[in-house]
Structure 1
Amino acid sequence: MVVKSNFRLCDVILDESIGRSTPDVEHERAVAIFDLIEDNMFQPVEHDGGPYRLKLSLADKRLVLTIVTEDGGDVATHILSLTPFRRIVKDYFLMCESYYEAIRAATPRQIEAIDMGRRGLHNEGSQILIDRLSGKITMDFSTARRLFTLVCVLYWRG
């Protein structure tokens, strides 16, 4: 039997106002949430432990992370400017569009090259997220990558 840490997410909710997008984006969203719930390390600074529920939303061009315990107790709300993410998200979208086009018609070598670029941008955005939440939330890189995917979904509505 695997014992899970109390410093983890047990649920991730995207604000209802985000709406639905293209099938590719919806797939990215579903996979990121599933993978995030299955394996993550998420620790709000100065909190005794969860597990936690995280709601992501947008308000006035800012990312709002609302954290509650599994039973609904308030933990924290963090509001981040999206300005540091704009360039990386825009570049990431362009790479994703190229990747989705490539998987339909390109050679395996072309697909691999585009995917390497896409992963590099994703890593860069994930590190920005870790840096912006420093002193507020501690997380591992895999958790940051999945959360960055969800930040992108907030932008990308198809």
Structure 2
Amino acid sequence: MTAGDHRLASIDIDELSLAPATRDVEHERQVAIFDLLEENSFQPEGAADGPYALKISLQDGRLALDITGQGFKRRHLLSMTPFKSIIRDYFMICESYYDAIRHAAPAQIETVDMGRRGLHNEGSEKLRERLEGKIAVDFDTARRLFTLICALQRRP
């Protein structure tokens, strides 16, 4: 078995679960999906071989991860509660970042971007922690998945 066997080959986000998004947020979501499909490490516990298809949705306020692969099918439901404050803070700093790239000096943009990346990393680590024992993902995969989870939470 090669490391490439445990990867995502397709990602689907339930359209009914997606929150309305700004152009910037929609772009981030599309880039996250593209980057995930280009390179990821995704190994569901108990799965012998990949690649896998992932469908992400919200079900009764919980994150639903539906995974299918060769002879493998599983759903993981995760409470969104541990992510709520990180996502709220991340949205606030993203708004500041988008405003800064349109109106601020490069030094200010860099400062806001460092804060944005820090919160994104925190959300990614929280996701890896919540997936422990269910799905093994590397840090970059967790970062991109966190971006997609945020797409479900965005409020107009």
Q: TM-score, normalised by structure 1?
A: 0.93
Runs of at least 4 residues of structure 1 off by over 3 A?
Answer: none
May I ask how many residue pairs the two structures share in their alignment?
154
1:3-82 matches, cutoff 5 A: 5-19=4-18, 20-69=20-69, 73-82=71-80
Q: What per-residue deviation string (whole Å, max 9, x for no partner) do you get for residues 10-54 of structure 1?
A: 111100203452111110110000000000000001111110010
Distance in structure 1 (CA, Å) of the matches to 2:6 and 2:49: 5
1:95-134 matches, cutoff 5 A: 95-134=93-132
Unaligned runs of 5+ in 2: none
Tell me if the contact between 2:93 and 2:115 (Cα under 8 Å) persists in the aligned partners: yes
Q: More displaced, 73-82 or 110-119?
A: 73-82
CA distance change for structure 1 residues 133 and 4 in 2, over 3 Å: closer, same or farther? Answer: closer
Aligned to 1:18, the other structure's residue is in SS state coil
Q: What per-residue deviation string (whole Å, max 9, x for no partner) do you get for residues 72-125 of structure 1?
A: x54210000000000000000001000000000000000000000000000000
Q: Equivalent pairs: percent with the same residue?
A: 58
Unaligned runs of 5+ in 1: none
2:92 aligned with 1:94: yes
Q: What per-residue deviation string (whole Å, max 9, x for no partner) do you get for residues 127-150 of structure 1?
A: 000000100000100000000000
Tell me if the contact between 1:7 and 1:43 (Cα under 8 Å) persists in the aligned partners: yes
Distance in structure 1 (CA, Å) of the matches to 2:63 and 2:120: 17
Q: TM-score, normalised by structure 2?
A: 0.94
Tell me if the contact between 2:47 and 2:72 (Cα under 8 Å) persists in the aligned partners: no
Q: What CA RMSD, in Å, does the superposition of the two structures yield over aligned residues? A: 1.4
Tell me if the contact between 1:22 and 1:157 (Cα under 8 Å) persists in the aligned partners: no
